[in-house]
Amino acid sequence: MKKLVVLTGAGISAESGLQTFRDKGGLWEGYNIEDVATPGAWRRNPELVQQFYNERRKGVIEAEPNEAHRTLASFEQYFDVQIITQNIDDLHERAGSTHVLHLHGVITRSQSDFDPAVTYPIEGWEIKPGDLCEYGLQLRPHVVWFGEAVPNLQLAAEICAESDIFAVIGTKLAVYPAAGLIDYVPDDVVRYVVDLDIPYVSGGSLVRKIEASATIGVARMAEELLKHPDA
């Protein structure tokens, strides 16, 4: 089986009703990113940050995977599929994808404020005051904030380097270091780019641009890929 590596961003989840923060000048559901998505914000006002992510978590739980998520999951019948996502929702997993690497954490889990590798499932949709990790510290969302290291970045780069087919779906490739992952894709690999606003992707004639929403664009990508999945 060929290895299909897919890098997804906020555009694929937007069609499930989850807002993308970069579409409104740095606002995410009416909040400034600096007030809710940085280590400094957590130190200044942990109650606000916790409330913000509790609300986002509730929205994620209520959202449903869309056709783009489900189509990517169905590719596992034909390819060795590895999804690398910048999204903090679990919609890929709920759609049926079995190999999903989250670059920026998963909002449905909590983590230790001392050791980000120590994570826990969340019952319901809230992390409450007094919910402590094994070190006795208040639990925080399992989310990589701006200014924090991306723990899975090296693993993601290694996966990209092994790709036989690569796809970028629903991301403008504007958030680094995640956007740099495409530089690890071998030079001779076909790259699909699906977005309403196609970002620049190196590769010349090997780049297949599909200017469409994720649900429509992934369906078009599937039509082409499944004509000759073993070619």
Domain extent for 117: 20-62+113-143
Residue 166 has pLDDT above 60, yes or no: yes
Q: How confident is the model at residue 177 (pLDDT cuts 50, 70, 90)?
A: confident
- Secondary structure element (H or E) that encloses residue 58, with its range: helix 46-62
- Average pLDDT for 92-100: 98
Q: What is the spatial distance between Cα 103 and Cα 43, in angstroms, rounded to a whole number?
A: 23
Give the per-residue pLDDT at 203: 81
135 with 168, same domain? no
Cα–Cα dist 62/51, whole Å: 17
Query: Can you give the CATH number for the domain in which 203 is found?
Result: 3.40.50.1220
Mean pLDDT, residues 56-75 = 97
* 102: annotated active-site residue: no
Rounded to whole angstroms, the Cα distance separating 147 from 44 reads: 15
Of 18, 2, 213, the closest CA to residue 108 belongs to: 18
Indicate whether 221 and 137 sit together in one domain: no
pLDDT in tens, 183-218: 999 999 999 999 998 988 888 889 999 999 999 999
pLDDT of amino acid 200: 83
Half-sphere exposure of residue 159: CA atoms within 13 angstroms, side-chain side:
25
Give the domain CATH number at 26.
3.30.1600.10
pLDDT at residue 229 tops 70: no
Angstrom distance (rounded) from CA 201 to CA 193: 8
Is the pTM here over 0.85, yes or no?
yes
Do residue 91 and residue 154 come from a single domain? Answer: yes
User: How many domains does the chain contain in total?
Assistant: 2
pLDDT tens track for 13-27: 999 999 766 555 555
In this structure, the answer to whether residues 132 and 207 fall within a common structural domain is: no
Active-site choice (102, 104, 142, 228): 104
Beta-bridge partners for 109: 121
Q: What is the mean pLDDT of residues 68-77?
A: 98
Q: Are residues 135 and 209 in the same domain?
A: no
| pLDDT value at 231 more than 60 | no
180 pLDDT above the threshold of 70: yes
> Is there a single domain that holds both residue 206 and residue 162?
yes
pLDDT for 221 equals 97
82 in the same domain as 154: yes
